[in-house]
């Protein structure tokens, strides 16, 4: 590796700009890149379990900084030259978030999760890009991702280099988008009526499939979105199939067929079938199969950090328990290194809490309507963190601490996060899945309507709230916070 880091290049940017530009132009013209830019050093990070089992380590790939700078320069060009990504793909796309995908799953109903091994055939990606990408761009991408060498770095010692035949570089800025191109045909294939070869249709538009569902009217998913039956959602390489017992095995068969045609393989041991726990004892259901292997079942599953139950609904209580446990664990660690009455200055400890701990409390709260007793659990968690910072016994009041730190209550934070999320939804791209779902979500049965109904700040926005400008939103949040502060 070149032993360079971004912090070293920052102070000399003006001196590097011209020579790097000349070098990148040469790479563009000749579709060649230095060998060191195609070397990835993989550092295994221990997770848990048997330390002698390689499966219990997470590989972290280190790439050349100059390689990443070139990728940043290519990013916009690649996105503009790429085929349209399917509406069901929400991973690593601008103005999409994990919470968007989780909320869409809640509304469409979660049923089955797929996991696959990372044996991506790069030739599929290049073939998909060929009709739309310029020859220099395509050639440079092939230079960056083909003939890549990998070394394992462990305890300061590197292994001999080896050359992977499949996959894209972990740690690469462009890899998530290239993977989206690779897997882009899956949702179309699941919706298509025939089992024709995918490879012959890589350059076709989505309209060529006509989106004719393979299922009977009784078996179809319940949602028609943007003219398509949504029976699968993707977030990068996380794939969820949506269906019931009458059609899910058929979807699994289609997913299996897709993997054969593109040359990858799902991992049955990491796939999960969600089903009610009572059905396993009182009325056992036949197992579902992938590659003739029965798939494991569960009554709950965590998707993108959000727990879902067997009905495909977000599990509020589990979300609270996960968030509170994660936040308090992190705060106890920070307490030992200075976030305590005798350590860091109070203002610094509070900033650390806001930056690193409070987001753990808050993840997912914007899309979940909570009961007052559930919010009290979050308040107690934040109070405990404040006592770690300022001192005090287990039942001491934290009102003064919050006033000194200018910290809102968790109830106020829930309303603030919620109104920002609701307002943001009206500025999403037109082809975003949540944008297409919004007309459906206006029904009172859906969570979207509940989020609007019970959000105090949303009700304070100028009418109609959907047309509120960012300035209106900021002003209303400030007024709400000031009013609550004066009530202390």
DSSP 3-state assignment of 281?
Answer: helix
pLDDT in tens, 403-429: 889 899 999 999 999 999 999 998 999
Do residues 449 and 438 touch, judged by C-beta distance below 8 A?
no
Do residues 149 and 38 touch, judged by C-beta distance below 8 A?
yes
Average pLDDT for residues 304-309, to the nearest whole number? 92
pLDDT confidence of residue 471: 93
pLDDT over 70 at 460, yes or no: yes
pLDDT over 50 at 206, yes or no: no
Question: If you average pLDDT over every residue of the chain, what do you get?
Answer: 86
pLDDT over 50 at 267, yes or no: yes
Q: Is 450 left (phi over 0), alpha (psi -120 to 50) or beta?
A: alpha
pLDDT confidence of residue 299: 87
DSSP 20: H
Q: Where does 298-371 have alpha helices with state H?
A: 316-336, 346-352, 358-362
pLDDT over 90 at 340, yes or no: yes
pLDDT in tens, 359-395: 999 999 999 999 999 999 999 999 999 999 999 888 8
pLDDT in tens, 207-246: 333 333 333 333 444 455 656 678 899 998 889 998 877 7
Burial status of residue 76 (CB atoms within 10 A of its CB: 0-12, 13-18, 19 or more): exposed
pLDDT in tens, 467-476: 889 999 999 9
pLDDT over 60 at 203, yes or no: no
The larger pLDDT score, comparing residue 312 to residue 266, is at 266
pLDDT in tens, 113-127: 777 676 788 899 999
**What is the phi/psi pair of residue 153, to 5°?**
-105, 115
Number of other CB atoms surrounding residue 372 within 10 Å: 7
3-state helix, strand, coil in the chain (%, to 5): 50, 10, 35
Nearest to 205 by CA among 80, 77, 84: 84
Q: How far apart, in whole angstroms, are the C-alpha atoms of residue 397 and residue 331?
A: 19
pLDDT confidence of residue 127: 92
Do residues 103 and 91 touch, judged by C-beta distance below 8 A?
no
pLDDT over 80 at 283, yes or no: no
Three-state SS for 193-255 is CCCCCCHHHCCCCHHHHCCCCCCCCCCCCCCEECCEECCEEEECCEEEECCCCCCHHHHHHHH
pLDDT confidence of residue 213: 37
The domain locations on the chain are 6-309, 316-486
pLDDT confidence of residue 196: 53
pLDDT confidence of residue 445: 76
Confidence of residue 106 (pLDDT cuts 50, 70, 90): confident
Nearest to 426 by CA among 453, 454, 448, 450: 448
pLDDT confidence of residue 163: 86
Q: Which of 44-53, 81-90, 213-222 has the lowest mean pLDDT?
A: 213-222
Nearest to 72 by CA among 20, 118, 114: 20
């Amino acid at each position: 590796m070149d032993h360079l880091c971004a912090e070293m290049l920052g102070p000399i940017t003006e001196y590097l700009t011209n020579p790097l530009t000349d070098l990148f132009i040469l790479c563009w013209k000749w579709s060649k890149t230095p060998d060191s830019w195609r070397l990835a050093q993989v550092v295994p990070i221990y997770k848990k379990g048997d330390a002698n089992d390689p499966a219990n380590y997470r590989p972290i790939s280190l790439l050349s900084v100059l390689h990443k700078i070139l990728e940043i320069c290519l990013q916009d060009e690649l996105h503009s030259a790429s085929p349209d990504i399917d509406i069901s793909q929400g991973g690593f796309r601008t103005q999409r978030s994990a919470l968007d995908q989780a909320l869409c799953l809640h509304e469409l109903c979660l049923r089955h999760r797929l996991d696959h091994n990372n044996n991506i055939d790069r030739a599929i990606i290049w073939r998909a890009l060929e009709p739309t990408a310029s020859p220099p761009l395509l050639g440079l991408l092939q230079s960056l991702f083909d003939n890549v060498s990998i070394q394992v770095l462990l305890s300061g010692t590197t292994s001999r280099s080896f050359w992977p035949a499949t996959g894209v570089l972990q740690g690469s800025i462009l890899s998530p988008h290239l993977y989206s191109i690779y897997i882009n045909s899956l949702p179309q294939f699941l919706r298509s009526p025939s089992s024709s070869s995918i490879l012959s249709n890589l350059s076709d538009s989505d309209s060529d499939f006509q989106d004719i569902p393979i299922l009977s009217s009784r078996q179809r998913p319940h949602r028609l979105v943007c003219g398509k039956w949504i029976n699968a959602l993707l977030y990068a390489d996380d794939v969820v199939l949506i269906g019931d017992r009458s059609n899910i095995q058929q979807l699994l068969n289609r997913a299996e067929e897709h993997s054969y045609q593109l040359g990858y393989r799902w991992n049955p041991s990491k796939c999960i079938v969600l089903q009610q726990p009572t059905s396993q004892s009182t009325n056992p259901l036949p197992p579902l199969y992938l590659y003739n292997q029965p798939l494991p079942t569960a009554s709950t599953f965590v998707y993108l950090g959000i727990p879902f139950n067997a009905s495909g609904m977000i599990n509020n209580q589990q979300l609270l328990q996960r968030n509170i446990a994660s936040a308090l664990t992190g705060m106890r660690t920070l307490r030992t290194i200075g976030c305590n009455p005798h350590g860091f200055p109070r203002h610094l400890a509070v900033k650390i809490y806001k930056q690193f701990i409070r987001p753990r409390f808050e993840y997912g709260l914007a899309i979940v309507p909570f009961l007052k007793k559930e919010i009290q659990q979050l308040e107690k968690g934040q109070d405990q963190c404040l006592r770690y910072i300022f001192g005090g016994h287990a039942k001491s009041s934290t009102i003064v601490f919050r006033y000194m730190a200018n910290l809102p209550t968790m109830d106020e934070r829930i309303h603030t996060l919620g109104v920002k999320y609701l307002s943001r939804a009206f500025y999403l791209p037109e082809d975003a899945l949540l944008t297409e779902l919004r007309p459906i979500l206006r029904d009172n049965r859906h969570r979207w309507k509940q989020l609007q109904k019970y959000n105090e700040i949303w009700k304070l926005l100028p009418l109609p709230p959907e047309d509120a400008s960012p300035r209106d939103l900021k002003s209303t949040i400030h007024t709400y916070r000031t009013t609550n502060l004066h009530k202390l």
